[in-house]
Chains A and B, each alone.
Chain A
Amino acid sequence: MACISPDGSPTETGTRMLRALSSGLGYPEEIAQDTGIPLFRVRSGLRELNKAGLASQNNDRHEITEKGAKLIE
């Protein structure tokens, strides 16, 4: 259930997490609650999204980046 496919596009789980970030949710716990994705998968997924430049982290809060937002338009 990784969030990024080998071709660099978000997987179904990655897309759900990007949508959650886009709706203003920023903490792993609230993303897990909103999406139903287990917390450990949200945490590892956010790491992947951050690494791919689709999300960014400020302290414990995460935000979708412009690049991430374009992918779920």
Chain B
Amino acid sequence: MEEINKQIISLPRLGEPAPGFEAITTDGVLKLEDYKGGWLILFSHPADFTPVCTTEFIAFAEIYPELQKRGVELLGLSVDSVSSHIAWVRNVEEKTGVKIPFPIIADLDKEVSMLYGMIHPGQSKTETVRCVFIIDHNQIIRAILYYPLTTGRNMDEIIRIIDCLQTTDEHRVATPANWQPGEEVIIPQPATQEGAEERLKQDYECIDWYLCKKKL
């Protein structure tokens, strides 16, 4: 009988500690723990000097000031070399005037890519897909996004997720579909019959006991 040799890789999951790493980057050697105490967006792109990735890097650079206001750093990754990363970001600056203000991991041995499940052989056996890992100040994975090679990421949604998560943490609430800062938030639903009855007596805007909103 033919032996089937399959490698089972455990992917990072929401609510779990982000896998630690030490990686060579365009800013020298960085460890995940260097980011402790602040939020981090670790994202991968398929390759340097490619069109969709270039538009994404420009877009990430453009939202960087907004991310910094929220205590969030950016860290890019692809399986290209540091020299390639440096040449590419210099080219982007020369051609578009946009300076890339964040480091990029040169994951030539695919160590970090494999750790974070960034290579999807159905898309490409050699390149990382467009992953986004949002990691909080305690280095817990709070959100994961995967985009196919042909689809550039939506920066507004990335900022929105950060706003949702930080609002949830600060106020112990949830956020409804398409929520934007300043809009009403959802009060966590009661877990008991008594709680449900009390909820409707409170001064909230309720559809019913399980869906009540309030302004912050």
- Residues of A whose CB lies within 8 Å of any CB of B are 1-3, 29, 38-41, 43-45, 47-48
Contacts and interface: CB of A to CB of B under 8 A. Distances in A.
B37 A39 contact: yes
A44 B28 contact: yes
B28 A1 contact: yes
Q: Is the interface of A mostly helix, strand, loop or mixed?
A: helix
B38 A2 contact: no
Nearest to B35: A40
A41 B37 contact: no
A31 B100 CA distance: 24
B210 to A, nearest CB: 41
Interface in B18-50: 27-31, 33-35, 37-38
Task: Name the residue in A39, A41, A44 with the highest tally of chain B Cβ atoms < 10 Å from its Cβ.
Answer: A44
Interface residues of B, number: 12
A27 to B, nearest CB: 12
Given A2-B29, A44-B34, 13 more contacts: A1-B28, A1-B103, A2-B27, A2-B28, A3-B28, A38-B73, A40-B30, A40-B35, A41-B27, A41-B34, A43-B33, A44-B31, A48-B29
Contacts of B37: 29, 39
Contacts of A38: 73
A4 to B, nearest CB: 8
Q: Report the 5 A-B pairs with minimum CB-CB distance, sorted nearest first.
A: A2-B28, A40-B34, A43-B34, A1-B27, A40-B35
A47 B29 CA distance: 9
Contacts of B29: 2, 44, 47-48
